[in-house]
Homo-oligomer: A and B are copies of this chain.
Amino acid sequence: MMAKEYKRKVYLQDKPRLEAKQQMFTHFNSKREIEWVDSSDSLGRVLAKPVFANSSMPHYHASAMDGVAVIAEETFSAHEHRPIQLKKDLEFAYVDTGNEVPSPFDAVIMIEQVNEISEDIIEIIEPAVPWQHIRPIGEDIVQEEMLFPQGHIIRPVDIGALLASRTVRIPVVKKPVVTIIPTGNELVSPTDTISTGQLIEFNGTVFANYIHEWGGEPQLHPIVKDEPSSIKTTLLEAAKHADIVVINAGSSAGSKDYTVHIIAELGEVFTHGVATRPGKPVIIGKIEDTIIIGVPGYPVSAYLALEWFVRPLICEVLQVSEPVRQKLQVKLGRRIVGTMGAEDFIRMNIGYVNGEYIANPLPRAAGVTMSLVRADGMLVIPPTSLGYEQGEYAEIELYKPLEAIKESIVFIGSHDLTIDLLSSQMKAVNRNTSIMSSHVGSLAGIMAIKKGEAHVAGIHLLDPETHEYNESYIERFLADKEVVLYPFLKRKQGWLLPKGNPLDIQNVEDIVEKQAHFVNRQKGAGTRILFDMLLREAGLSTEEIIGYGREMFSHLSVAAEVKGNQHAVGLGIYPAAKAMGLDFIPVADEHYDLLMTRAFFESQQGKDLINVIQSEAFFEKVAGIGGYLLEKNPNPIYLGMRE
């Protein structure tokens, strides 16, 4: 209870995001400065003032054709049967495209329609209409006309209009300087050597790239130690020179989170904590007329906070609209719980299966950068909502082009390293196709096919009764669905062990005997089913296994965990051991097959997938990993019945 009160004291309040933004703007004194640049070098810049044409284009009556300039009135009687002749200089003049049409000529006849009798005499057989084939002064641009209003963002074609009208220098908004201050004793630069307990500082670089993309001028400050005096000096200096200051980490309420106190001391704090998950520990304040924004250290929180609070300020200085993401109505594949009183920002995968967009949440932890990297879209749950039920429809903001989502093959199921290679190879053959894979285990893959949420599932489910793979499970769960089981590959499962096998583990009994820490897989994973069978066959119970209750979601995660702990052992595939430099003792050769709906298998995308699987290039790539036996032209197994 005491602790919670302390927390309340530190977070001034969890302010609604839009309220915090609005309040920030009441304090923001946008210093919009003008800078003159060469028009030819102005791509993407924003006009600070309206721009008027310096000159007309064309700036004289120009011939639009190669031909002769004539006085139209004098040609009116020309006819196929009564050609008329014209004398050079007096009655006509030769002109090329772009040449001036000299006075008093007022029409141009194309050279192809002129019969040249001698050097000075031509014959024409058709009258010219006044002003035909002439580009009059200002046809394109009239001197003094407004070419662009202020706030216009210069595109390549605009540079053409500027140069054509001899408007060679233009006033643009000076890019607002955003100083980025990374803080933290544990931070090291990505190129430094790193030890345990140290974190790579990468947020600053990411911020700089976002700010650059939004039209700001990022200035990345070197890492500052978690010392109030250093932070104070740096903030004061930055506030003097920057238009906006972003300070990273130290925005929370921990013992070393000095930032909020320092800003309050040097200036003013308007907001400490916004009502969002993730992203809550944001500070918004002001020092010496410069807005200071403290963003959390966790990457997802940090990047969202940057978009919520820094991007609008940059757009305000540039006087452009904030970009708006495309929206899409999707069906939710799972129940998604919201936080009462706070907005939830859930990163989502979206698959297009059977004509429906189906979205599933990615990991919600604010530290998982990959959840933002992998996001196809963002579901925002308002503070008044408790979330959504499975199967409900919701509107989400797209993070990828709809086309890319529409053309993805949705792969849900067991993890195997070859699936990424397959995705890569599919893209190499047809760059518009990709495989969007979620690693949820074999059983969940079968369920995704059953619910119509996936095109393909990777499965390796051992039937403990028959010691056969996959088919019996499909018959059990998908009896009413017409599916195809495509024999994909055989792979070695075995014990993943720290280099040198320090505990000398040879079998499942050793794990119990030597009190090894077992790194388990999630429920429904084929590897877990295999382990459970080994336990049962050895007459052991799960309670005897240290670590049984904790679940990893991929072979590589298990291997990474084993690598970090001399007492650990895991069960997984050979390539994972190889990738992490672990010892490996084979336990079983298992069948990892691809389950698909028959409709997908017979579709063009399905055929393309099979072609890529059977391609030499893919076989070579898989051979490069080692430990796999790909099936050459296997017979697909048709299961289930027509729906």
Contact = CB atoms under 8 A, between A and B. Distances in A.
Nearest to A61: B564
A393 B380 CA distance: 36
Nearest to A129: B549
Contacts of A559: 142
Contact of A100 (B157, B196, B256, B424): B196
Given A140-B368, A143-B580, A149-B420, A98 B197 contact: yes
Interface string A138-171: 1111111111011100001111110110101000
Interface stretch (A105-113, A454-462, A603-611): A105-113
Contact of A196 (B60, B110, B565): B60
Interface stretch (A18-26, A317-325, A502-510, A593-601): A317-325
B428 A150 contact: yes
Interface residues of A, number: 118
A190 B424 contact: no
Nearest to A555: B142
A199 interface: yes
Interface in A527-565: 549-550, 554, 556-557, 559-561, 563-565
Interface in A472-499: none
Contacts of A186: 96, 98-99
A303 interface: yes
Contacts of A140: 299, 367-370
A549 B130 contact: yes
B157 A206 contact: yes
Nearest to A4: B112
A277 B96 CA distance: 21
A203 interface: yes
A432 interface: yes
A153 to B, nearest CB: 11
A561 B197 contact: no
A369 B557 CA distance: 57
Number of copies of this chain in the oligomer? Answer: 2
A321 B554 CA distance: 31
A556 B161 contact: no
A194 interface: yes
A635 interface: no
A579 B149 CA distance: 18
Nearest to A80: B1
Given A255-B66, A403-B321, A561 B137 contact: yes
Nearest to A106: B550
B164 A202 contact: yes
Nearest to A203: B160
B556 A139 contact: no
Contacts of A367: 64, 135, 139-140
A60 B369 contact: no
A347 B506 CA distance: 74
A394 interface: no
Interface in A328-357: none
Contacts of A360: none
Nearest to A407: B321
Contacts of A97: 252, 254, 297
A432 B369 contact: no
A156 B303 CA distance: 9
Contact of A142 (B142, B401, B557): B557
Given A60-B197, A139-B368, A145 B202 contact: no
A103 interface: yes
Interface in A1-31: 3-4, 6-7
Nearest to A144: B579
Given A40-B190, A160-B303, A367-B64, A560 B142 contact: yes
A194 B424 CA distance: 54
Interface stretch (A208-216, A286-294, A441-449): A208-216
A636 interface: no
A549 B184 CA distance: 77
Nearest to A63: B197
A43 B213 contact: yes
Contacts of A142: 554, 556-557, 559-560
A373 B157 contact: yes
Contacts of A60: 196-197, 564
A431 interface: yes
B297 A7 contact: no
A57 interface: yes
A334 B130 CA distance: 26
A206 B156 contact: yes
Nearest to A113: B3
Contact of A157 (B56, B138, B303, B580): B303
A434 interface: yes
Given A112-B4, A112-B6, A427-B151, A206 B159 contact: yes
B164 A200 contact: yes
Contacts of A184: 98
Task: Please name the 4 residue pairs, one residue from A and one from B, whose CB atoms are nearest each other, closest first.
Answer: A3-B112, A163-B202, A156-B209, A146-B420
Interface of A: 3-4, 6-7, 39-40, 43, 50, 56-62, 64-66, 96-100, 103, 110-113, 130-131, 135-147, 149-151, 156-161, 163-164, 166, 168, 184, 186, 190-191, 194, 196-197, 199-200, 202-203, 205-207, 209-210, 212-213, 252, 254-256, 297, 299, 303, 319-321, 324, 365, 367-370, 372-373, 401, 403-404, 420-421, 423-424, 427-428, 431-432, 434, 549-550, 554, 556-557, 559-561, 563-565, 576, 579-580
